[in-house]
């Protein structure tokens, strides 16, 4: 259902209808209020610094949602594969564009109070016999790897939230060899553990959720050694 502020029953609050809704903002403050209905909703005309998205019904926190940036003004917000928002900002003035090019932040949301911090999600390899693709969740993930001589891939990695555990290798951040195949896709050569020196190295392909990561974005705090 397509809804505008003229349909809002409570002033600047524009709720969805427990269906697959498109909520359209206009000039002035709008609070887009999303229910926990298992639907994908769209928010259009979101004004940065003015409008808010109320997802307190989701029982979520900033750390429990995943945000995929499609462009400067387009984002997809997911919560536990249950809820999804397709969000489009109004184009801001050039002077108002953040240096990192990311408009959507935690300050754009209203969260429920008292929600406990999410637990870490351990994402280990399923097998040491073949290459694998491991997908991240909307929660903080720790991707756990052990030496197997294969090329594994991590998809939907969230910078600043997820980590990669390479403790089994006895290596360090400075020993990793990182190649930027293209923006959003890094190839990481992991040195072979001392006990496996005669065997081929492991490789990790890292693809972030927004397909924007570069080699310059990689830092030691993204890893566990």
In this structure, are 101 and 200 located in the same domain?
no
In this structure, are 80 and 157 located in the same domain?
no
State which of 110, 135, 169 marks the end of a domain. Answer: 110
State which of 53, 81, 110 marks the end of a domain. Answer: 110
Q: What pTM was estimated for this model as a whole? A: 0.84
Q: How much is the pLDDT for 6?
A: 53
CA dist 92 and 101 (Å) reads 11
In this structure, are 129 and 167 located in the same domain?
yes
In this structure, are 80 and 147 located in the same domain?
no
CA dist 53 and 76 (Å) reads 13
Contacts of 129 (CB under 8 A, 6+ apart): 148
In this structure, are 129 and 202 located in the same domain?
yes
Give whole-number Cα distances, 63 to 7, 77, 115, 161, in Å: 32, 12, 11, 7
Does residue 209 sit within a domain? yes
> Which range has the worst mean pLDDT, 11-20, 84-93, 100-109, 143-152?
11-20
Does residue 172 sit within a domain? yes
pLDDT at 113 over 80: yes
Q: Is the dihedral of CA 50, 51, 56, 60 positive or negative?
A: negative
Does residue 116 sit within a domain? no
176-219 pLDDT, tens per residue? 999 998 999 999 999 987 766 778 889 999 999 999 999 999 99
In this structure, are 98 and 125 located in the same domain?
no
Does residue 115 sit within a domain? no
Q: How much is the pLDDT for 7?
A: 53
State which of 110, 137, 152 marks the end of a domain. Answer: 110
Does residue 34 sit within a domain? yes
Does residue 75 sit within a domain? yes
In this structure, are 86 and 154 located in the same domain?
no
Q: Is the dihedral of CA 190, 191, 192, 195 positive or negative?
A: negative
In this structure, are 16 and 78 located in the same domain?
yes
Task: Assign 128 a pLDDT band (cuts: 50, 70, 90).
Answer: confident
**Domain enclosing residue 149, as ranges:** 121-224
In this structure, are 145 and 66 located in the same domain?
no
In this structure, are 99 and 146 located in the same domain?
no
144: domain CATH number is: 2.150.10.10
Domain count, the chain: 2
In this structure, are 79 and 177 located in the same domain?
no
Both tokens of 17, joined, read 């209808």
Q: How much is the pLDDT for 129?
A: 75
39-86 pLDDT, tens per residue? 999 999 999 999 999 999 999 999 999 999 999 999 999 999 899 999
- Beta strand 52-54 with 40-46 is unpaired
Q: How much is the pLDDT for 194?
A: 73
In this structure, are 146 and 82 located in the same domain?
no
Does residue 69 sit within a domain? yes
Q: Which helix (H) or strand (E) holds 115?
A: none
């Amino acid at each position: 259902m397509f809804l505008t502020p003229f349909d809002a029953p409570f002033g600047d609050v524009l709720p969805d209808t427990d269906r697959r809704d498109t909520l359209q903002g206009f000039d002035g403050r709008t609070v887009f209020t999303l229910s926990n209905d298992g639907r994908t909703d769209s928010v259009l005309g979101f004004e940065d610094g003015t409008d808010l998205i109320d997802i307190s019904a989701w029982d979520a926190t900033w750390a429990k949602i995943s945000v995929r940036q499609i462009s400067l003004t387009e984002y997809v917000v997911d919560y536990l594969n249950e809820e999804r928002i397709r969000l489009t900002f109004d184009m801001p003035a050039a002077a108002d564009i953040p240096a990192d090019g990311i408009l959507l932040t935690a300050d754009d949301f209203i969260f429920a109070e008292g929600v406990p911090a999410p637990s870490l999600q351990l994402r280990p390899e399923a097998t040491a016999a073949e290459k694998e693709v491991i997908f991240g969740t909307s929660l903080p993930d720790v991707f756990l790897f052990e030496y197997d001589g294969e090329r594994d891939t991590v998809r939907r990695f969230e910078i600043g939230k997820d980590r990669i555990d390479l403790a089994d290798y006895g290596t360090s951040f400075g020993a990793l060899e990182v190649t930027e195949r293209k923006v959003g896709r890094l190839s990481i050569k992991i040195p072979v553990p001392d006990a496996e020196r005669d065997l081929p190295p492991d490789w990790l392909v890292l693809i972030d959720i927004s397909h924007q990561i570069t080699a310059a974005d990689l830092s030691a705090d993204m890893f566990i050694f």
